[in-house]
Amino acid sequence: MTEKFGWQFDLEVHPPGWNFPAGKSWVAGWLWSSEGRLISDLRAWIDGRSFLAIHGLPKPGLDERFLQHPGPPYLGFTIQINPHAGAKLFRFEVRDEHGNWRELFRTQISVDPKAGPCPQAKTLAEILPTQMDRLLRHHTAHPENPWAKLADETVSTALGEPLDSLPNPPFHGALEEPREVGWVRYGRISVTGWLAHRTAKIIRVTAMIDPVLEVSLLHGLHRTDIDGVFADLPGRETSAFLGLVDLPTGSSTPALLKIFAELENGEKHLVFAQRFTPRILAGAESPLPPLSRASYLKASWALYRSAKRHHLPKSTWSDLHTALRTAWDSFAVEAPASRSPKALKAPELPDDSTNTPLRVMVVTHNLNFEGAPWFIYELACFLASTPGNKVHIVSPQEGPLRAVFEQVGLPVQVINVDALLATQTSAEFHAALAESTASLPWATTDIVIGNTMVTFWAMHAARLAGKAALLYVHESSPVRRFFARHLAPEILAVAEDAFHVADHVVYTAASTQTVHARINCDGKAVLMPSWVDVARVDTFVASHDAASLRRKHGLDPDAVLLVNIGSLCERKGQHIFIQAADLLQDELSFTYPDRKIVFVMVGTRPGLYLEMLEKEVARRGLADRVSFLPETGEIFDFYRLADIFVCTSFEESFPRVLLESAAFGLPIVTTNVNGIPEMLAADEAWLTPPGDRYRLATAIKSALDAHFSGDRSRSIKARAKVLQKYHQSKSLPLHTALAQSAARRHA
């Protein structure tokens, strides 16, 4: 065993005397930090060639010795090396959870002369288009680091030779997702495939990328396409697995996914190891710097100098020029504008005598019990309350909110736009537009209000019909990323064009407007305050008591309830809520032994995500501490019965659940994403980074301490701000005035 820089390790497997034979060899062992650091990656160097390890493998006996439990984190690792003839130096490096690489070991080596020659490394031109984006994002996230240091990290990453692993008989299977690329949604990747064993029963399949978070996959699902050479394989019909696996912030690239199978006899086997490049489809990502030729040139020069230090082969000028142009074009599309245009101020409230009756078509992306549809429901009701106004609701999907609209006299029309959204070209889209929207009441419409950018098609339909249009954007994700896996590449430009077609694009958060500044830079952006119906909240509080509402919904009247309200989905981050509950369960039992503290999630819907959460709750022994409740129109019940409100979202614009929980006077623990810090300051709520279960657990502990001590200072300040800035009597008339203004221009 060797100890260096606080790391204890042993290279148990290596060629005798470090004399490598021709061909592939193995280096394996274990590694542990006595200072509590975590391994995020391992690699070995043979001269200038980098070989990536499979790390985080169980080491029975050693795991228990160092960790006092079987893990994770797991201490084992293995590296497959194919050294070239004439190689002289072996080096071993570890990357910690903060992204810092540290060399732990080096030794002189010899290699059998029969080994192959050193393979040709990639040229700068070959790696530049992908590595430029990575370097620019690294520099934005770590501006304190010199360009040269970041460029060396970027280039050395590009040189890594990955080691992947497939099942060995008697295991058989295939990993279908991820492969070379893993699509990331709100800190998680989708994992799918199949796995069977010829002679034993697989009782559990787990996966991990995070070094300490092992996730159970759903296994034993029906599969009908495993035939051919596997026709005699027992269990093939129920061999499918799938799940969602956490990708921790700051993971190495390429990231390492490991999948383990546990058998009835207690054995645990690594069945898949897959290196993949994460591609953010939705959720937080290190931002690019504002579009700037100066930043681009600095990054280009840093990569060029790093390529020389790494002795990469020279590129031809033609190849390098093409690579630089490709990288610049990609930067120009993704980077924020160098100057974020200011949103127009909300219009002044006009004299009532200038208003004329409005015939409004409100297009909502769905009719579910979700924040955005409730937002547009309240706006539609306010518009309809003005004498003479007529409001018609349109949605491409059915949902429970339809009945709510119809109860207040607002007609709802559901239309099918699937064919429109499936078009491949702009010409096909516009050719299908009139047919898809022909049934809409254009003759009796003055203005179209589209709710969320999913209704981009309604902006084009309004222009085709010669009507005014407002597009309300709640998504804090760029258009191309948001629709990347749902629309054809040419239709992505059509979706972006909707921002120009609309008379105005309305945002309720400045941060969301900044996300879309590149495409909404023609003076059409309007920043408008959201609202909360404070009078309705106060009336509800006065007429309902918490204990009765808890009994109504099957919750313990005497428990302390931490309530998380929102449609159950990755974006809302309920998996982080459960992880925090797991981190806290022992501490809460010790600190408050006589109090039952329950984590309540309101908004469940059937599907994979719910199944995964339920499985995790059972596996972690949290059944008595976690409750799931379905989507409901009776949301006010849950604000009233809650003791503390918790929001774990990865992405929000200006969430109404926080406005409403503040109006109810609840203490609030929330992620600090997008528009949330515009709404609540650090002395009004406990703010935490998205996806950080440790910081969330700390914030929940602080909120519980305040609750038990009677400290309500944060909730009092939050409610005061909501009453002052977001009272519906101040906000809703401004939204009506904007609609009136846009409609008059088309009259």
- Asked whether the beta carbons of 123 and 50 are under 8 A apart, the reply is no
For the segment 53-109, what is each residue's pLDDT rounded down to a tens digit?
Answer: 999 999 999 889 988 888 899 999 999 999 999 999 999 999 998 888 999 999 999
Element (H, E) at 244: strand 240-246
What pLDDT score does 523 carry? 79
Rounded Cα distance between 637 and 602, Å, is: 11
Instruction: Report the pLDDT averaged over residues 577-582.
Output: 95
- Asked whether the beta carbons of 678 and 343 are under 8 A apart, the reply is no
Element (H, E) at 54: strand 54-57
Which CATH code fits 534-726? 3.40.50.2000
For the segment 5-41, what is each residue's pLDDT rounded down to a tens digit?
Answer: 899 999 999 999 999 999 999 999 999 998 989 999 9
Residue for token digits 């006899």? 265
DSSP conformational letter for 532: B
Rounded Cα distance between 204 and 219, Å, is: 7
Q: Taking the CB of residue 619, how many other CB atoms lie within 10 A of it?
A: 14
What pLDDT score does 251 carry? 83
Rounded Cα distance between 563 and 661, Å, is: 10
What pLDDT score does 58 carry? 95
Examine the pLDDT at 143 and tell me if it is beyond 80. Answer: yes
Q: Tell me the CATH number of domain 1-119, given options 3.40.50.1820, 2.60.40.650, 1.10.3860.10, 1.50.10.20.
A: 2.60.40.650
Question: What are residue 125's phi and psi, to 5 degrees?
Answer: -60, -35
For the segment 557-571, what is each residue's pLDDT rounded down to a tens digit?
Answer: 999 999 999 988 888
What pLDDT score does 505 carry? 95
Instruction: Report the pLDDT averaged over residues 134-146.
Output: 91
Element (H, E) at 742: helix 728-746
With CA atoms as reference, report the closest residue to 363 among 494, 510, 472. Answer: 472
Chain mean position to CA 265: 37
Chain mean position to CA 309: 36
Residue ranges, CATH 3.40.50.2000, the chain: 352-531+731-746, 534-726
Of 252-256, 336-340, 467-471, highest mean pLDDT: 467-471
What pLDDT score does 40 carry? 94
Rounded Cα distance between 503 and 548, Å, is: 48
449 token code pair: 């209000």
HSE at residue 121, side-chain half, CA atoms within 13 A, is 22
Rounded Cα distance between 164 and 274, Å, is: 5
What pLDDT score does 519 carry? 85
**pLDDT bucket at 340, cuts 50 / 70 / 90:** low
Chain mean position to CA 92: 33
Of 120-124, 611-615, 715-719, highest mean pLDDT: 715-719
Collapsed DSSP state (helix, strand, coil) of residue 134: helix
| Mean pLDDT across the chain | 92
User: Residue 143: which residues within 8 A CB-CB, separation 6 or more?
Assistant: none
User: Residue 367: which residues within 8 A CB-CB, separation 6 or more?
Assistant: 373, 395, 397, 398, 399, 400, 401, 402, 405, 412, 414
What pLDDT score does 77 carry? 97
At what angle are helices 293-309 and 124-141 packed, to 10 degrees? 120
For the segment 161-188, what is each residue's pLDDT rounded down to a tens digit?
Answer: 999 999 999 999 999 999 999 988 888 8
- Asked whether the beta carbons of 271 and 259 are under 8 A apart, the reply is yes
Kindly indicate whether the domain formed by 123-335 is annotated with CATH number 3.40.50.300: no
Instruction: Report the pLDDT averaged over residues 669-692.
Output: 93
What pLDDT score does 518 carry? 79
Examine the pLDDT at 341 and tell me if it is beyond 70. Answer: no
Superfamily of chain region 352-531+731-746:
Glycogen Phosphorylase B; (3.40.50.2000)
For the segment 412-447, what is each residue's pLDDT rounded down to a tens digit?
Answer: 999 999 999 999 999 999 999 999 999 999 999 999
For the segment 690-700, what is each residue's pLDDT rounded down to a tens digit?
Answer: 988 999 999 99
Rounded Cα distance between 437 and 419, Å, is: 11
Instruction: Report the pLDDT averaged over residues 542-553.
Output: 96
What pLDDT score does 346 carry? 58
**pLDDT bucket at 648, cuts 50 / 70 / 90:** very high
Question: What are residue 527's phi and psi, to 5 degrees?
Answer: -95, 115
Examine the pLDDT at 355 and tell me if it is beyond 80. Answer: no
Q: Mean pLDDT lowest for which of 287-296, 499-508, 713-722?
A: 287-296
For the segment 193-210, what is each residue's pLDDT rounded down to a tens digit?
Answer: 999 999 999 999 999 999
Residue for token digits 């401004």? 734
Rounded Cα distance between 384 and 362, Å, is: 11
What pLDDT score does 352 carry? 55
Collapsed DSSP state (helix, strand, coil) of residue 610: helix
Residue ranges, CATH 2.60.40.650, the chain: 1-119, 123-335
What pLDDT score does 351 carry? 55
Rounded Cα distance between 581 and 696, Å, is: 9
**pLDDT bucket at 540, cuts 50 / 70 / 90:** very high
For the segment 482-496, what is each residue's pLDDT rounded down to a tens digit?
Answer: 898 899 999 999 999
Examine the pLDDT at 349 and tell me if it is beyond 60. Answer: no
